[in-house]
Amino acid sequence: MFAALLNIRDEPIDLRQLPSGLEIVGRARRAALIAGPGSTSASLAGRYRIVGRFRLDARDELRARLGTSAASASDAMLCLQAYAKWHEAFTDFLAGDFAFALWDDETQCLLGARDRLGVHALFHSRTADAWLVSDSLDWLAARVPTRDALDDYWIADFLALGVAREFERTVYRDIKRLAPAHLLKLGEGGLSLRRYWRLDIPEPVYLHREEAFHERFRELLSRAVADRLPTDRVGVAMSGGLDSTTLAATAVEVTGDPSRIVAECEHYERLMHIREDHYASLAARHIGIELRIRPADDIAYDPRWRARALRSAEPMTALVNAHNMQRVGREMGAVTSVWLDGEGPDNALALERDAYLGWLRRQRSWRHLAQALVGYAAAKGLAGWVQTIGRHTRLQREAELEPADTLPPWLRRDFAERLNLAERRESLGLGGEMSHPWHPASIGSFTSPIWQGHFDIRAFEGSLGGFEWRYPYLDLRVLEFMLSVPPVPWGWNKRLIRGAMRGRLPAEVLARRKTPLDCYPEVATIREVGLPVLPEDHRIGRYVDPQFLPDRGASDTDLATSLNAHALDHWLACKRQ
Cα–chain center distance at 8: 34
User: Which contacts (CB < 8 Å, 24+ apart) does range 125-129 have?
Assistant: 125/172, 125/174, 125/175, 125/176, 126/8, 126/174, 126/191, 128/8, 129/7, 129/8, 129/9
Q: Quick check: 52 and 135 in contact, CB under 8 A? A: yes
Query: In this structure, what DSSP letter does residue 332 have?
Result: H
CA atoms within 13 A on the CB side of 450: 22
CA atoms within 13 A on the CB side of 461: 23
Sequential DSSP letters for 234-265: EEEE--SSHHHHHHHHHHHHHHS-GGGEEEEE
CB atoms within 10 A of CB 389: 8
- Which SS3 state, helix, strand or coil, does residue 35 take? strand
Four-CA torsion 89, 90, 95, 99, nearest 10 degrees: -100
Q: What is the SS3 string spanning 194-209?
A: EECCCCCCCCCCCCCC
Q: Quick check: 1 and 136 in contact, CB under 8 A? A: yes
Q: What are the structural domains, with CATH classification, of the chain?
A: 2-195 (3.60.20.10), 199-367+442-577 (3.40.50.620)
pLDDT of amino acid 530? 87
Q: Quick check: 406 and 160 in contact, CB under 8 A? A: yes
CA atoms within 13 A on the CB side of 179: 20
Report whether the peptide linkage leading into residue 489 is cis, meaning its omega lies within 30 degrees of zero: yes
Sequential DSSP letters for 201-242: --S----SSHHHHHHHHHHHHHHHHHHH--SS-EEEE--SSH
Sequential DSSP letters for 422-473: HHHHHHHTTS-----SS-HHHHHHHTSTHHHHHHHHHHHHHHHHT-EEE-GG
- Residue 385 host element (H or E): helix 366-389
pLDDT of amino acid 121? 97
CB atoms within 10 A of CB 282: 19
Which is it for the CA torsion 307, 312, 315, 319, positive or negative? negative
b/e code 529-562 from CB counts within 10 Å (16+ = b): eebbebeeebbbeebbbeeebbeeebebbbbbbb
Q: Quick check: 255 and 282 in contact, CB under 8 A? A: no
Q: For the chain, give me the number of helices (H) and strands (E)?
A: 22, 17
Q: What is the SS3 string spanning 508-574?
A: HHHHCCCCCCCCCHHHHHHHHHCCCCCCCCCCCCCCECHHHCCCCCCCHHHHHHHHHHHHHHHHHHH
Phi, psi at 266, each rounded to 5°: -90, 130
**Calpha distance 577→571 (Å, rounded):** 10
Nearby residues of 426 by Cβ (< 8 Å), 6 or more positions away: none
Under the phi-then-psi rule, with left for phi > 0, alpha for psi from -120 to 50, and beta for the rest, what region is 302? beta
**Calpha distance 126→9 (Å, rounded):** 13
Sheet of strand 190-195, all strands in order from the earlier edge strand to the far edge = 40-44, 48-56, 96-104, 109-114, 182-187, 190-195
CB atoms within 10 A of CB 323: 19
Q: What is the SS3 string spanning 473-510?
A: HHCHHHHHHHHHCCHHHHCHHHHHHHHHCECCECHHHH
Residue whose C-alpha is closest to residue 560's, from 401, 396, 343:
401
**Calpha distance 506→287 (Å, rounded):** 9
pLDDT of amino acid 74? 94
pLDDT of amino acid 71? 77
- Which SS3 state, helix, strand or coil, does residue 145 take? coil
How buried is residue 474: exposed, middle or buried, by Cβ count under 10 Å (0-12/13-18/19+)?
Answer: buried
Beta-strand relationship, 109-114 and 40-44 = unpaired
β-bridge mates for residue 252, sequence order: none
Q: What is the largest CA-CA distance in the chain?
A: 75
Query: In this structure, what DSSP letter does residue 18 have?
Result: P
Helix, strand, coil % in the chain, rounded to nearest 5: 45, 15, 40
Q: What is the chain's pLDDT, residue by residue, as a tens digit (577 residues)?
A: 999 999 998 888 877 767 778 899 988 888 999 999 999 999 999 999 999 999 999 999 999 999 987 778 999 999 999 999 999 999 999 999 999 999 999 999 999 999 999 999 999 999 988 999 999 999 999 999 887 899 999 999 999 999 999 999 999 999 999 999 999 999 988 999 999 999 999 999 999 999 999 999 999 999 999 999 999 999 999 999 999 999 999 999 999 999 999 999 999 988 888 899 999 999 999 999 999 999 999 999 999 999 998 999 999 999 999 999 999 999 999 999 999 999 999 999 999 999 999 999 999 999 999 988 888 887 765 444 334 434 443 334 344 344 556 789 999 999 999 999 999 999 998 888 999 999 999 999 999 999 999 999 999 999 999 999 999 999 999 999 999 999 999 999 999 999 999 999 999 999 998 877 767 888 888 988 888 889 999 999 999 999 999 988 899 999 999 999 999 999 999 986 6
**Calpha distance 203→437 (Å, rounded):** 10
